[in-house]
Amino acid sequence: MNAPTVPDRKPAAPARRAGGRNLELPEHLKAYKGVWVFLEHDLGHVHSVSWELLGEARKLADKLGSDVAVAVLGGPDEPLEQFAAEAFGFGADKAYVMHDPVLLGYRNEPFTKGLTDLVNRYQPEILLLGATSMGRDLAGSVATTLATGLTADCTELNIDPASRALAATRPTFGGSLLCTIMTLAYRPQMATVRPRVMAMPQAQAGRAGEIVQETLGLVETAIVTKLLDFIADANSNRINLPYADVIVSGGKGLKNPENFRLVFELARVLGGEVGATRPCVQAGWVDAERQVGQTGKTVRPKLYIAAGISGAIQHRVGMESSDVIVAINTDANAPIFDFAHYGIVGNALQVLPALTQAFADHLALRGKAAA
């Protein structure tokens, strides 16, 4: 629901002139076939964004009549084959697996070489990566090395019917507008997508695929950057906004940082996370990890409660895919009411405690009834 972009308007193929550029695909690049997803994993798990991308990759490949493959790189003892098997369940047909001691823990140099080599060897026409700190670091490096186009933070991926090119739609100008970008004369066509922008696909049990083992051919002594240590975040400090089921967010309408405790209290009762708008983060009211929106996190919780948030487009693009959006704002004309499901025109400082109490009472009552 509430798709952030226009689903049905097809991007027109651009005029084949544009500044004397050749926009025809050269003959030697026509052999590039198939849709690839770079499988990102850490601490023994595949990042959910990779599965979300696989769902999109499957749709693109079906439109093109081609296959889906994943590239998964890691250390000698990491369970990459297990990740590959999971990927088959999410729609991949093939997995290129690369084990090497220098691929234990992400570093730009060996991962760039590994992925670049695989692309040059197997020539996919589309390569998708998650717009995470790893995916963005790697995508920019691989695209530059391959001298091809890369579109960041896409919100919609489609195939342009005229050129059969990837039509990648992304917000631009801070989310005020959307633009559709294509890479016509270069391959592969690369794109990154932020976590939670695409829906999680359904895994199919028993779906199988082919695993292809690959080698990197790079020794540790040839790599300049050394990974000295990895300090895992303490669980208590980890704010996993993109994957939270319930988010209560506050904006400048809360007037001061102390009032944010009302947001935290409601979030606590709901077992949810606390989000915030950019102005609140910039004012230092809450941690930057809590920022929802164009330059913060994209979220799609089941319930999103926006308190004292006007609903600027920069915030909207980060949360409008939420299942249920509740907005509380003193201004009846605030744009947030244009895309919230339920709205209360009122002072969040009064409404939040009432809502917290109502939820607490209701859940206690239902909890008892169930017990």
Partner 1 sequence: MHIVVCIKQVPDSAQIRVHPVTNTIMRQGVPAIVNPYDLFSLEEALRLKDRFGGKVTMLCMGPPQAEDALRKCISYGADDAVLVTDRAFAGADTLATSYALAAAIRQIAKEQAVDIVFTGKQTIDGDTAQVGPGIAKRMGLQLLTYVSKIVETDLDARTIIVERRAEGGVQVLKTALPCLVTMLENTNELRFATLPSMIHAAGFPVRKWNREQAGIEDVSRIGLKGSPTVVSKVFGPTPRSEKAEMLELDTSSLRDVSLNLLQKIFTRHPTLEADLLMKGTS
Rule CB under 8 A: is residue 21 a binding residue for partner 1? yes
Query: What b/e readout covers 157-183, taking b as 16+ CB neighbours within 10 angstroms?
Result: bbbbeebebbbbbbbeeebeebebbbb
The smaller minimum CB distance to partner 1, of residues 4 and 34, is found at 4
The values of phi and psi at residue 126, to 5°, are -130, 140
Q: Of 205, 228, 236, 333, which one interacts with partner 1 (CB under 8 A)? A: 228
Residue 188 Cβ vs partner 1, minimum distance, rounded to whole Å: 11
Task: Name the residue among 44, 112, 132, 117 with its Cα closest to residue 82.
Answer: 44
The smaller minimum CB distance to partner 1, of residues 65 and 284, is found at 284
Which residues, other chains included, contact 52 with Cβ-Cβ below 8 Å and sequence gap of 6+?
A: 130, 193, 195, 196, 197, 198, 199, 200, 201
Rule CB under 8 A: is residue 30 a binding residue for partner 1? no
Q: Of 31, 205, 208, 224, which one interacts with partner 1 (CB under 8 A)? A: 224
Residues in region 108-167 near partner 1 by CB under 8 A: 108-109, 112, 132-134, 136-137, 139-141, 143-145, 147-153, 160, 167
What is the identity of the amino acid at 135?
Answer: G
The smaller minimum CB distance to partner 1, of residues 203 and 324, is found at 324
**63, 165 contact by CB (below 8 A):** no
Site mask for partner 1 (CB under 8 A), range 75-104, x = bound: ------------------------------
Rule CB under 8 A: is residue 232 a binding residue for partner 1? yes
Residues in region 273-312 near partner 1 by CB under 8 A: 278-279, 288, 294-295, 302-303, 312
Site mask for partner 1 (CB under 8 A), range 331-350, x = bound: -----xxxxxxxxxxx---x
The smaller minimum CB distance to partner 1, of residues 93 and 244, is found at 244
**36, 70 contact by CB (below 8 A):** yes
Give the binding-site size for partner 1 (rule: CB under 8 A). 114
Residue 208 Cβ vs partner 1, minimum distance, rounded to whole Å: 29
By the 10 Å C-beta count (0-12 exposed, 13-18 middle, 19+ buried), 313 is classed as: middle
Kindly indicate which of the ranges 87-95, 120-128, 198-206, 316-324 contains the residues binding partner 1, using the contact rule CB under 8 A. Answer: 316-324
Contacts 24+ apart (CB under 8 A), 359-366: 359/266, 359/269, 359/270, 360/269, 363/269
The smaller minimum CB distance to partner 1, of residues 108 and 259, is found at 108
The angle, 0 to 180 degrees and rounded to 10, between the axes of the packed helices 133-146 and 108-122 is: 50
Residue 98 Cβ vs partner 1, minimum distance, rounded to whole Å: 20
The smaller minimum CB distance to partner 1, of residues 38 and 88, is found at 38
**Rounded-to-integer distance, Cα 238 and Cα 171, Å:** 28
Residues in region 168-187 near partner 1 by CB under 8 A: 171-174, 176-186
DSSP class of residue 243?
A: G
